[in-house]
Structure formats: C-alpha cells, structure tokens
A and B are shown apart, each in its own frame.
Chain A
Amino acid sequence: MECMMARPSKGSAGKTGLWRTFKPIYDDTKCNGCLLCWLYCPENAIDVVDGGISIDYDYCKGCGICAKICAKKAIEMVREEET
C-alpha cells in the first residue's frame, strides 16, 4: 500500500520556478503592506516578512497575478533573461 500513499511536500512538481517566462520583481519602497499579493498568489510562493513580502523564486511560476493585483504597482513582471 505504501506506493499508493503520498505525504506533504513542497515542490511536488519539481522546481517550478523553471516554468517562468516573466519574473515578478518587488519594490518594497512602493509597498503599502496590504498583503493582497500574498493572498492571491496561487502558488503560495509569497511570504509575509518584516516590512513587506518576499517571493520564493524556486517555485514562483511567473503567472503575474501579484503584479496585476497590486494597487501600488510595487510588483513588475520582467522578462527572464536567457542565461
């Protein structure tokens, strides 16, 4: 039965940060701490930290919801560079 059981684990699809075409860049000087981006991140990749938020780029898929919902334009979607 063991092979039919799973247990909670981050990254169940791997490092989904690799999916990104666009990357959210956060400007804490514009942030008013409303936490809407934290609430509406479908990936749970945004964490609340002292003074604002932090984005987990290992898993952020770059969907862009956070940038759109921010009333202060504190998040900008920037194209990922080819490395």
Chain B
Amino acid sequence: MKKILTGNYAVAEAVKMARTEFIAAYPITPQTTIVERLAEMVEKGELDAEFIRVESEHSALAAAYGASAGGLRTFTATSSHGLLYMYEMCWWVANSRLPIVMALVTRTIGPPWNIHTDHTDLLTLRDSGWILAMSENAQEAFDLTLIGFKVAEQIDLPFAVGLDGFQVSHTAEVVDIPKQDEVDRFLPERKRDKPFVMEPGNPIAVGGLTTNECAMEIRMSMMEDMEKVGDLVRNSGYVRDYDLVERYRLNDAEYVVIMMGAWCGDAKDAIDILRDEGIQIGMLRLRFIRPFPAEEIAKLNCKKILVVERDSSIGKGGIIATEVKSVANSSVQSVMAGLGGVDVGVEDFVAMFKRFVEGELRGWWL
C-alpha cells in the first residue's frame, strides 16, 4: 500500500512494523520527528514497546544496549553531535555483537553549528563494526530499516541506516509499505539468547578483563562475519530486492561515478543529460559503506572513476575515494562537495561530470 511519508516517518513506520520492543532516543535536529512519531505510536497503542525518554544520547545507546543484552529487539536514532556523544557506546555495542538498529539522520558536525546534511557523521562509524547503509530516499530508508533488523539479528552486528538530514528526513515521498503479515513472515521474533542473554539465574560475566588475544579474536570474527552481510542483504527475502550497490546505466559505462546518499538522485539526472549528449557515463551508488563493496568496485571495467562525497578526512582527502582507490582497477578522481549541506544540484553535477570526463577533477567543489 502506498503512503506519503517523510523519510523520518517512514523509518518510524518500519520500526513499528518490525514490532520493535524497546526504543530509547534523545532528540536532535533533524532526527527529532522519528522520536516524536515513535512516542506517539507507543502512547496510542499502535506500537507495543518500551519508550524511554533518556537524558542524553550516551544514555540512549546505553539503555538500548541493556535492553538488547536482555533479549529485546531494540532501536535508537541520532545525528551528528548526538552520535559523537554516544560514540563510546557505539564501539561497545559492536564488540558486544548486539543487533541494535539505529537510524542516523546525517548532519554536519560543528562548529560552526549547522543542521544540514553531510556524511561525515555516518563515516565516523566505519571502523567500529556497525553495518552502515545509506538510503537515497524515503522508500530506501523504510526498506533498509526492516532489512537492518533482519540482517543484524542474523549476523549479530549492529546496523545503522543513514538518511540525509532534511533532504530525506523531512521530505515527503511516496513509500510502498508491505502488509504487516508480510513483514512478520520476513522478520520473526528475535532469538532471545543470541549472542548471549543477561538474565537472573544465568551467572555469566560478559565483557570483563581477559586475554589480549581475545581483543583480536573478537575483531577477527567481526571481520569474518561482516563479509557475510552482502549475501544476507541480497537473499534477505524482503518484498523488494536489495544489493550493497545500485548499478545505474553501468553496463557500457566508460566513466563511472561513485556516490552515496540523497544527492545521487540529482546526479543520476545529470548522468541522463550527459548520456543524451553521447557520453557513456554511469553510477555505482553505494547503498552500503560497510561492508565495503570492494568486489563490485574492483569489477568496474571503465576508463576512470570519479568519487563525489560529502565528507573530508583532513590530511588525506575524501574518505570514500581513499577506500575506492584501494580496490579499483581504474584511476580514481576525487571530489569533496556539499559539506555543511551546501547544495549541489543537477547543473553542478553536469558541469562536474563534464570536467571529469574531459580531464582532471580533484579536490573541492564549492
């Protein structure tokens, strides 16, 4: 059934349909309406879940950690500074192998204060062990949240669904919602003692001092399990097919653009315009940044690759470009644009891609 939902409300809808049992979140623009909608759903009896009005993001993920360690299906949401405030807990959750799902409404990190989108916040999680997905629109935000619960619980790794602040979070779009019984078949009740459960009468101690080797063993097994996520996403059994990437006009592309997020919509429009002019350009859109779609990128058979991204690693350059370069078999050009929510529209992309095709394009686009 088709509904008109903003990205945030689509996420809330997915959380409800997943029969989430525990929600703890602290408001931060532009995530706030997810939390408000969920609170409303719980109060109205539409969602049978515990909703905790925590006093900070650190406590939001800490409470989620406790609930998940107790066996409940758990959700939280945040952005930017909120993520940074819960950052310590993010790493604790990942190493603890708990299948918490988090919506990350991307927002620039200050100072200066800025509530608009860029992707630096999501990328701060890239080393942690969280599965990181980035939606392009409200439909994907909805779908990836449901897929997130399933895959997280299968592989015992937490799952973050990114959605661009304001561009997706607050933009109303048509979202195709499956039926509740379809979702129930897709997503059965969580296996409550997996990977472990804290409960009275079960005297395990979890996370205490142990051998140095254990620190490595944990990370090694997380690395191994993260490699299985691609197949789990492709074979999730969801009502729509999903992959780690979207291939847009890639078949005969001589020039490939690699990007992630909402602005890919405009970038694809630019690709269409250039295609009409005879330029064989296509896009490999990253739906997931972790696991990193190394195979898909290595397979690209083209003249050159342009990575356009909304982030920066001071002292190195574009974060995604660095990662792409490490596996690509063609030369990679790198552009950092749209930080702070700076608008990059279709005309910008047309100009950008032309420069890329005709010659060299590196560094900043402002």
Question: Interface of A with B (CB < 8 Å)?
Answer: 1, 3-8
Q: Taking each of B95, B97, B214, which has the highest tally of chain A beta carbons within 10 Å of its own beta carbon?
A: B214
- The docked-state distance in angstroms from the alpha carbon of A46 to that of B335 is 71
- In the complex with contacts A1-B195, A1-B196, A6-B210 CB distance below 8 A: yes
* 30 A-B pairs (CB sep. < 8 Å): A1-B97, A1-B156, A1-B195, A1-B196, A1-B218, A1-B221, A3-B211, A3-B213, A3-B214, A3-B217, A3-B218, A4-B95, A4-B96, A4-B206, A4-B210, A4-B214, A4-B218, A5-B196, A5-B204, A5-B205, A5-B206, A6-B204, A6-B205, A6-B206, A6-B208, A6-B210, A7-B203, A7-B204, A7-B205, A8-B203
B207: interface (CB < 8 Å): yes
**A-contact bits for B214-251, CB 8 A (1 contact / 0 none):** 10011001000000000000000000000000000000
Report whether A3 and B204 are in contact in the complex, using a CB–CB cutoff of 8 Å.
no
Question: Chain B residues near A6 (CB, 8 Å)?
Answer: 204-206, 208, 210
Question: Chain B residues near A4 (CB, 8 Å)?
Answer: 95-96, 206-207, 210, 214, 218
Count residues of chain B with CB under 8 A from any CB of chain A: 19
B168 to chain A, nearest CB (A): 35
B152-187 residues with Cβ-Cβ distance < 8 A to A are 156
- The docked-state distance in angstroms from the alpha carbon of A75 to that of B203 is 34
Question: Chain A residues near B204 (CB, 8 Å)?
Answer: 5-7
B325 to chain A, nearest CB (A): 34
- The docked-state distance in angstroms from the alpha carbon of A2 to that of B32 is 38
B220 to chain A, nearest CB (A): 11
8 tightest CB-CB pairs across the interface, nearest first? A3-B214, A6-B205, A1-B195, A8-B203, A3-B217, A5-B204, A5-B206, A1-B97
- The docked-state distance in angstroms from the alpha carbon of A3 to that of B196 is 12
The closest CB in chain A to the CB of B217 belongs to A3
- The docked-state distance in angstroms from the alpha carbon of A8 to that of B96 is 20
The closest CB in chain B to the CB of A3 belongs to B214
- The docked-state distance in angstroms from the alpha carbon of A6 to that of B205 is 5
Question: Chain B residues near A3 (CB, 8 Å)?
Answer: 210-211, 213-214, 217-218
B181 to chain A, nearest CB (A): 33
The closest CB in chain B to the CB of A8 belongs to B203
Question: Chain B residues near A8 (CB, 8 Å)?
Answer: 203
- The docked-state distance in angstroms from the alpha carbon of A5 to that of B214 is 10
- The docked-state distance in angstroms from the alpha carbon of A1 to that of B157 is 12
Question: Chain A residues near B213 (CB, 8 Å)?
Answer: 3
- The docked-state distance in angstroms from the alpha carbon of A8 to that of B217 is 22
Question: Chain A residues near B205 (CB, 8 Å)?
Answer: 5-7
- The docked-state distance in angstroms from the alpha carbon of A6 to that of B207 is 9
Question: Chain B residues near A5 (CB, 8 Å)?
Answer: 196, 204-206
